[in-house]
Amino acid sequence: MTRPPPAPVAEPWVPVGRVLVVDDNPEILRDFKSILCPPDSDTRAMRDMEQALFGEAGTVPNLPTFPLVTALQGDEALRLLQEATGTPEPFAVAFVDVRMPPGLDGVEAATKMLALDKAVQIVLCTAFADYRWEQIATLFGDTDRLLILKKPFDPLEVRQLTRALVAKWHLAQERARYVTNLEAAVRERTLALSEANTQLRSEMTERTLAQDNLYRAQRVQALGRLTAGVAHEINNPLSYIRTNLDFVTSELRHNTSLLPFAQLSELTQALSDAQEGVNKIERIVRDVKLYVRGDNTAALPMQVGPAMEEALALLGRSLGLRATIERNFCEVPDVLAVYHRIEQVFVNILSNAMLAFRIDDPGKNRVLVEIAPQGRDEVMVRVRDNGCGIPEADLTRVFDPFFTTRPVGEGTGLGLAVSQGIITNVGGRIDVQSVEGQGTTVTVVLPRARPGACLASVATGQPAVLQTKLSVLALDDDESLLRALERLLKDYQVTTCRTVAGALALARERFFDIILCDVILPGRDGLSLVAELATSQPAQAERVILMTGGTLSIQEMHAIRSAGCPCIDKPFTAAQLAAVIQTRLQLPPSRPAHA
């Protein structure tokens, strides 16, 4: 019975790499080839012989074959190594004979080969003691890529050495690829982390900015609540102070013969100073209210050039003595804004520029005012000075209400805060850039007006003299203000009341030509009076004039507009009250039958 041929023994897979053999003896080269590149026929012959002799399948292993390249001289080997380096098939191992006359010897060639290829494994083959080990160690340094093979060598030794060095070379290649891939992964991860860090920093910056804006909004909200109460508490006494001052001034004017001229002149001056103090308090309260609630005046098409010229003229001599004014006005389209408010903004900015100069020196001090179009839909107004500038730490606070770098008593700190409210209320923006010691630049950008543009309706009235024989009902919870109104309207039929219920009862008994009613009252407010009169006595509701000393909420302002009632801010002058009353009396009186 014929037995099947012997099966080869499975062995661990060993990677195969190219081998370079350098020797000047062709016989040695042939020996290396027979060891590292055995033909398959030799292996089959050994198996057949074993089966014939022993009658059973053999166990001859499969021997790997290594791609082999030979060279007779060191220079040729270097050329072959250089050509293979960096290609898909580099050399893994090089067997180099030490003696190869007449060219480079093996040690010199191996030294250059190690420098040329950073991965190749070198085996020095020698039968003579041309170099001592100490010399070789000195020449090659501390390297793990050099081995010494003594001649004559055993074929098994050569094969095992080659297999081990090729495997080591493959591991080194794998390690290098792994390190390269790892470095690439680290770079990619580092880049991702850097981008994430940048995004995180950006988000943190945005969050900090949002928190700052929220904090500022909360402060404004708190200021609004404070202003609503404080303004009401200030404006009420301010109203009767102003009214009483007007009353005393009017009495003195009509009774000049009762006092000596000198005493009369001194009293008149005292009253004038008191009126100026009232005006200053009124401006501060008005600016605070404007900052908190904005302006309800209509925004209409206007030219910024004339408004700037009027602001410059208003400051006039004081600004001209301190600095040289330079103008650079381009032709610009109309903007949508409130003329007198924009003029107020320009005055505030120019005043700050003037105060940026510590001394009067028009030769050195410069204020450049520029007006130019910005894009197709905006107009830019810029005021630039070369004054003292603003410290960097203060730049973030310049729009905060009541913040000022001026000495106590030289400013309220509301100029830029109010200006920002005015500009943003019409859809514009304002920016301040400054370098301490070099100057400040304030830029205002306003939207271009479109044909027929108008942000709100506005009612105007001219100062008037109160008609006689008017019946007036004055409703307020402050007795001092009621007495002041009685003095102001002493030539007319004035009835006073402190509650809405009392006013409704009086209105049912008789018809009043005018009803002056405070918006904020204890219990039921002035708007509830208007609402009930509109239902029960519409003709009487048409004669209501509301008064307010506080800051109205958006809902209250909407309710007032819906009711169609004029509203006058406290404190008011006699002329202002007369103008509002005249406007209200333009409606034809429709008295009830029992009036």
Q: pLDDT (tens digit, 9 = 90+) per residue, 455-490?
A: 433 333 333 444 456 889 999 888 888 888 888 887
Residue 19 DSSP one-character state = E
Q: Which two tokens stand for residue 51?
A: 């089966």
- Other beta carbons within 10 angstroms of residue 320's beta carbon come to 15
Q: Is 378 helix (H, G, I), strand (E, B) or coil?
A: strand
The pLDDT score that the predictor gives to residue 383 is 92
Instruction: Give residue 228's pLDDT band: very low, low, confident or very high (50, 70, 90).
Output: low
Please give the backbone phi and psi of residue 328, each rounded to the nearest 5 degrees, phi first.
-140, 80
Q: Does 289 score more than 70 pLDDT?
A: no
| pTM of structure | 0.44
Nearest to 348 by CA among 433, 414, 445: 414
pLDDT of residue 128: 66
Q: Return the SS3 of 492.
A: coil
- Residue 120 DSSP SS3: coil
**pLDDT tops 60 at residue 13:** no
Tokens linked to 73 = 């001289």
- The pLDDT of residue 489 is 83
pLDDT tens digits, one per residue of 31-78: 899 888 877 545 555 556 656 666 555 555 566 788 999 999 989 999
In the chain, how long is the greatest CA-to-CA distance? 162
The secondary element (H helix, E strand) that includes residue 579 is: helix 574-584
What's residue 576's pLDDT? 81
Segment 98-105 mean pLDDT: 83
Q: Which two tokens stand for residue 196?
A: 């994430």
**Which has more confidence, 449 or 127?**
449
Distance between CA atoms of residues 519 and 536, nearest Å: 20
pLDDT above 90 for 570: no
Residue-wise pLDDT for 426-463, tens only, equals: 888 999 998 888 889 999 999 988 764 444 333 333 33
Instruction: Give me the half-sphere count of Cα atoms (radius 13 Å) on the Cβ side of residue 21.
Output: 23
Neighbours of 546 (CB within 10 A): 24
CB atoms within 10 A of CB 110: 26
Tell me the average pLDDT across 189-206.
91
Q: Does the structure show a pLDDT above 90 at 370?
A: yes
Structure tokens given for 127: 């039968």
Question: Would you state the pLDDT for residue 461?
Answer: 38
- The DSSP annotation for 514-567 comes to EEEEESS-SSS-HHHHHHHHHHH-HHHHTTEEEEESSPPPHHHHHHHHHHT--E
- Specify the pLDDT at position 459: 38
Cα 371 from Cα 367, distance rounded (Å): 13
